Structure 1
Amino acid sequence: MTSVVDLVAALGSGTILVVDLTNPLSSSTPTLRLPEPFANLVDFSLEQVSAYDTPGPFWKHHNIRTGEHIGTHIDAPVHWISGRDGHDVSQIPPARLVGPAAVMDFTAEASADPDFLLEVHHVEAWIAEHGELAPGTWLLYRTGWDKYAHDQEQFLNVDEKGSHTPGMTAACAEWLATTPISGFGVETVGIDAGNAGGLEPPFPAHFHLLGSDKYGVTSLQNLAQLPPTGALLVVAPLPIVGGTGSPTRVLALVDGQ
């Protein structure tokens, strides 16, 4: 078994690399836009308090203002009505925030159809090729959507019929909720498809996964740098007491070349 000492040595030598899967957070980071009558969160912003001047002669610091579900962020169970009695983000067990990454690549399908939905048979085929989902796995859904991560219009892909981004079927969400995964990660703005409000139940990934004590992570980057298996994921949200989610730094440890 590899010890922590071995891991530290491998990181120092470059035998293990750290890949940042986080979309940088700023006022221009693409965010969800809900239609009326639903309320939207505030976007991220910085307020300068001092900058090596009279209010703070030796330092620079800011106040921040942001919604919980802005940019790369985690969804805690309490975020959804089905998980209302579950953990808030500060109560998520730390061991559930670190685990093996299983990366499913459906970039070709999502490129051909932005409304592509992951089905149970897709996951079963991945498992047949790469092995079972181990307890504590973070299942990551690669669609190539991170290429739009700096363009609000393309990222949400909205027309008169709604938002068109890939996701999963209700049956797939219900099935994944029975697996031993810790969470489900996506490159899109949310763990559900853009048109998931029309599924039954509405937004089934939220409903089934969060209702079954699974977590969601959104707006991931650089999944192309991860192998299908063998990487270790570290999900690091702020432990906001009562929080339904938090902007999150997500890192992957992978074998170096």
Structure 2
Amino acid sequence: MSVLAQLLTAVADGSVEIVDLTAPLSERTPILQLPEPFANTVPFRLKEISRYDDRGPAWYWNDIETGEHVGTHFDAPVHWATGRDGEDVAQVPPRRLVAPAVVLDASEHVAGDPDFLLEVDHVRDWEKANGPLPDGGWLLYRTGWDARSADQDAFLNADENGPHTPGISAECARWLAEETPVIGLGTETVGTDAGAAHGFEPPFPCHSYFLGAGKYGLTQLQNLDRLPARGAVLLASPLPIVGGSGSPARVLALIER
């Protein structure tokens, strides 16, 4: 039996499970809010073209309005100034959209501190327990933040001092991007950076370092609690938007049961 035939058999009999890591995309999907004077994305919106009526008697379809970075989405290198000469989302090689993934679970830390930052030592401790980060794979950072994803205010968790959401320290972001073999970072929050990352040096270090290194980001993931610490295969499927800085994406994980 061929390798692909074995995979299809395993999916059919449930020995390989497909886990959807994608947040539903609707007008209620939380979106990033930047302070003035910066411009913001539009939320997702459907505009009906026809629905089995005189505009189109046998068919239903819609126009959509959305930003590239709304909901579960893929960040391409060109999204950030440090990656301005890098790939747009249509240029990402398909072989990099199917890759191994590991899950680092910091949800217990975040439960007691929404501003929790992952440090290099946290990752090294994870490696001691679970083995090395995957060469050519993804680091998925579980914080439990997806439990808030149905409520914009709870998801952004902002007050007069700005948003309070977990993330990664500047030094850890640099180390992960420049000194480890992962190709991307996946998070459950609205972006790959912490809520307070505008005040870091450099600002928004996950964007700055990962995209500057030609690596990628995935955000607003869900169901990371259903994945093992290692052993999953990630399928990320952004739209190949020519010149696009990113795209809403359907993100799936394959795991052995």
- TM interval, shorter chain, is over 0.9
Over the aligned positions, Cα root-mean-square deviation in angstroms equals 1.1
- How far off is 1:134 after superposition? 2.2
SS in 1 for 2:127: helix
Give 1:205's aligned residue.
Answer: 206
- How far off is 1:53 after superposition? 1.1
Mapped partners of 2:215, 2:195: distance in 1: 20
Q: Tell me which amino acid in the other structure corresponds to 1:193.
A: A
Q: Alpha-carbon deviations, 1:172-229, whole Å to 9, x = none?
A: 0110112111110000000000000000000000000000011000000000000000
Mapped partners of 1:10, 1:182: distance in 2: 27
SS in 1 for 2:230: coil
Give 2:183's aligned residue.
Answer: 182
Q: Alpha-carbon deviations, 1:134-164, whole Å to 9, x = none?
A: 2221100000000000000000000011100
Give 2:251's aligned residue.
Answer: 250
- How far off is 1:239 after superposition? 0.4
Matches within 5 A, 1:17-96: 17-96=17-96
Give 2:240's aligned residue.
Answer: 239
Mapped partners of 2:48, 2:116: distance in 1: 42
Give 2:161's aligned residue.
Answer: 161
- How far off is 1:2 after superposition? 7.9
- The runs of 5 or more residues in structure 1 that have no matched partner are none
Give 2:112's aligned residue.
Answer: 112
Mapped partners of 2:140, 2:249: distance in 1: 15
Q: Tell me which amino acid in the other structure corresponds to 2:104.
A: M
Mapped partners of 2:163, 2:95: distance in 1: 35
Aligned residues: 256
SS in 2 for 1:177: helix
Q: Relative to structure 2, which stretch is displaced further, 176-185 or 207-216? A: 176-185
Mapped partners of 1:19, 1:140: distance in 2: 14
Q: Alpha-carbon deviations, 1:222-251, whole Å to 9, x = none?
A: 000000001111000000000001000000
SS in 2 for 1:230: strand
Mapped partners of 2:134, 2:27: distance in 1: 37
Q: Tell me which amino acid in the other structure corresponds to 1:202.
A: P
Query: Which contiguous aligned blocks of 4+ residues in structure 1 show a shift greater than 3 angstroms?
Result: none
Q: Alpha-carbon deviations, 1:66-95, whole Å to 9, x = none?
A: 000000001100000000000000001111
Mapped partners of 2:215, 2:49: distance in 1: 38
Mapped partners of 2:96, 2:181: distance in 1: 11
- How far off is 1:133 after superposition? 1.6
- The runs of 5 or more residues in structure 2 that have no matched partner are none
Q: Alpha-carbon deviations, 1:3-51, whole Å to 9, x = none?
A: 1111111001111111000000000001101110000000000000000
Q: Tell me which amino acid in the other structure corresponds to 1:212.
A: A
Mapped partners of 1:79, 1:92: distance in 2: 13
Residues 30, 149 of structure 2: 8 Å contact kept: yes
Mapped partners of 1:207, 1:176: distance in 2: 12
Q: Tell me which amino acid in the other structure corresponds to 1:161.
A: N
Mapped partners of 2:100, 2:254: distance in 1: 10
Mapped partners of 1:247, 1:136: distance in 2: 22
